[in-house]
Structure formats: structure tokens, C-alpha cells
Amino acid sequence: MADLLESLRGYISPDLISRTSRELGESEPATAKAFGGIVPAVLAGLVNRTSEPGAMSSIYNMIRGSDSGLLSSLNNTVPGAPGSTASVGNNFLSQIFGNNIGGVENALSNFAGIKSTSVSAILGYIAPLVLGFLGKKVHDDELDEGGLSNYLSSQKAGIMSALPAGLGSALGLGSLGGAAAAAAPHMDRPPRPAAAATTERVHPAAPEPRKKTNWLWPLLAIAALLLLIFGLRNCNDDTEDVTTDPTTTTAPATTEQNPATTEERMDSRQTDVAMTEREIPGGVVLNIPPNGIESKLVAFIEDENKVPDKTSWFSFDRLHFETGSARIQPESQEQIDNIVKILQAYPQVNIKIGGYTDNVGQPASNLKLSQSRAEAVKNAIQQQGIAANRLEAEGYGEQHPIADNTTEEGRAQNRRIDVLVTKK
């Protein structure tokens, strides 16, 4: 069964986040964080209503009667912009949250660090999105009220695990959200992990009834605190790792060739990140990981048996961007400086920089973002004196994935910047 939360997240593209942040006067990271919290919040409130037959009946009638063109009408709008969907969204939110909408907005405002009016605008966008998506689901699958309730209930585990910790109280769900969701029963698939974006999804075993114990509460408190600090990367992180581990890439730059298998790519990932010194021509000494991109590039350049081709790509392993943006984070500068030093030491070498994304969002937006990120890295290198005719940059969007896009770990690997030696 399709994952409702992931399907809706697919509509939240980096371009939408960027345009929304400009429209509302909020930072892009905070806007992305708001979207990350608001989508599961609306769904959690909706799922909570499935236990109230009277309320669910009204919601079902609204969903079944929703305009079939509601989804397409949202394509060219952003939260806060005038549109005919605002009143529809407000009515839907009233059905879900009742008189508690103000408390929900305040809680989400505190969570994301944006104005409550901005939260209200984004809610006014997400509500019609949910309404339109479920309306299509009801019509396509011919669901009656009971069928819709069963479908929403089947999504509860994943939704609750993505709900920001502490937000459950504001939604009238008690302590649900974050840590509490880990104990939710498995309905259709394992819940999203709350601890880390690169962790394999694991379904916790259903707990057996047990007696109250005095030692249980401290453990739960510690677990909740850890989840609050480290959890929910999709919602809370303001920095996006383009690549988390060094990789020797054999994925091509053209669609005529086939990318390497996931196993080939993952087997080459470095597990020991201890630094080592490497001297290059000119008496320059690099302090780099033995299996990082710098070591691999130098080895390729110095190996007379290696010739430039279209398949020998190498992935940056310490490069970070702001989420949904082409802005390079300051901690990335060391590795960029190392690439500059390598190009200075081997003046005959030319390179191409390739940008890649995961498959979340719209393909056109992903392609644009990957191109912008590749150009950002190219510009950062060029600004340090490397001639422009030695550098190329191209974005490939979600093409040539090197891992499974259905998992958080796989998507993290697919978000990357690669380098190809085009001349040596």
C-alpha cells in the first residue's frame, strides 16, 4: 500500500520551499522545517478523527466532494499567495482541528521558528493538498467512509513517527509524536525511523502488556530527550549532506551508459575516516582521508594506466549544502580548498563537476537544484584562481541513482556532488 506521507512529501519541491520562503519573508531552512512538521501534523489530526464516527462522516463527505482539479490548481501557487483554495483549506482544517487550530499554529510556529501567520499560510496550502490527494484516492479506489478510515488508520505508524516530538499535545493526541510513535502498531509498513536519516527502517516488535515499574519512566524520558535532540532529520535539519561517505563513482554523465550497481558503490565507501598526510607536486601536503575524494583523484591522475573516461566519477565526502539550496556550508571549504590545491599541482588536469539529487519532489526542480549546486562548487573552485576552461558543471537531477530511493539511507547517498577527470 502506498505511503501517504511520502506521497504528499513528493509535492513539496525545493522550488516550492524557496518561493514560499520569499513570499512569507522566512529563511529557507526554517520554511523547509515548517513544511516537514506541518504535513505530518495535518495527517495526524486527520488520523485522530477516524475514531470519531460523526466527525469522520463530515470529513469523508468533504473529501468525496472535493474538486478533482484541486491538486493541479496548486501547482503554480505558493502558500500566502491569493488563491481559491484558501477557503477550502480553512474549512478542512476546521473539520480536523476544530477550535484548537490556534494552538496548533502556535506549536508549529515554535517548532519551526517562523511566524504563526506564516504557519497559517502553509497550513492553508497543505490542507487543500491533503484534501485533493485523498479525494482522488477515494474516487480512484471507490472508497466508502469505512474504507477511507481504514486507509488512514493503516498509515498511522508512519505518520506518528514523523510527527515532531511534543507536538502531539497541541494536536490533542496526548504524548503522541516522535518517541511515542515508536510504539504505534505496524499497519502497512515500518514507521520512519526517528533517530537518523541514514538508518535502515526497523519495525519495533509490538510490546507485550507489562506491569508498571519505577525504572521505566526514567528510560522513557531519556529516550524522548535523545529523539528530540537527534531525531526527525527531515523536519529539523537546516543542513543537507550531499554525500556522507567517500565513494568512487562509476555512474555515467550520459544516459547512454549504465550506472554502477548499488553494491559496487556501497562497497567502496570508507569506514575509517582517520586523516593521513599526502604530498603532491610543489611540496604541498594534504591532510586527507586515505579513501576520500582527494586520495582517489590524486591516485587516478598519477596512474599512467588510467585514462579519462565517462565512468570514473569520484564523490565529495565532506561537502554540505543548506537544505533545498545551492548555498555551500562553511565546513565544506576545507575539501574545496584541497581540490583547488590538486588542480594547482597538476595544471594539465581538467575536471567536470556533476550534481545529483534523490527523487523527492518534482524532477524539473531536482534537475535545476542539481545544476545550481554543481555550478556553486565550480564557482567556488574558480574563485581561487583555477581557469574556467578547466572546469565544467552539469546537473543530472534524480538520474543515475546509486542507491535505493525508497529508504532514507539510499536517498542520502543519491544526494551528491561528483567529480570526473576529463583531461590529464
For residue 53 the three cell numbers come to 464516527
The whole-angstrom separation of Cα 187 and Cα 157 is: 7
According to the model, what pLDDT value does residue 157 have? 86
On whether the CB atoms of residues 177 and 157 are closer than 8 A, the answer is no
The reply to whether CATH 3.30.1330.60 applies to domain 239-423 is yes
- Exposed / middle / buried, residue 167 (Cβ in 10 Å: 0-12, 13-18, 19+): buried
Q: Beta strand 416-423 with 284-288: parallel, antiparallel or unpaired?
A: unpaired
- Is residue 240 within a helix (H) or strand (E), and if so which, with residue range? strand 239-241
According to the model, what pLDDT value does residue 240 have? 54
According to the model, what pLDDT value does residue 290 have? 87
The whole-angstrom separation of Cα 173 and Cα 181 is: 11
Q: Which residues contact 276 (CB under 8 A, 6 or more apart)?
A: 287, 288, 289, 290
According to the model, what pLDDT value does residue 351 have? 97
The whole-angstrom separation of Cα 74 and Cα 72 is: 5
The whole-angstrom separation of Cα 177 and Cα 254 is: 43
Closest residue by Cα to residue 125 from 8, 234, 210, 241:
8
Beta bridge partners of 286: 278
Record the pTM.
Answer: 0.43
What would you report as the CA-atom Rg of the chain, rounded to the nearest whole angstrom?
24
**Range(s) of the chain covered by CATH 3.30.1330.60:** 239-423
| pLDDT tens series, the chain, 424 aa | 458 888 888 888 888 898 899 989 999 989 999 999 899 999 988 888 887 767 788 888 888 887 656 666 565 566 765 554 556 677 788 888 877 788 888 888 888 899 988 998 898 888 888 988 898 888 888 889 888 889 898 988 888 888 877 676 666 664 444 433 333 333 333 333 333 333 333 333 434 444 444 445 555 666 665 555 544 444 444 445 555 444 444 444 443 333 333 323 333 334 446 788 999 999 999 999 988 999 999 999 999 999 999 989 999 999 999 888 899 999 999 999 999 999 999 999 999 999 999 999 899 999 999 999 999 999 999 999 999 999 999 999 999 999 999 998 899 999 999 999 999 9
According to the model, what pLDDT value does residue 128 have? 85
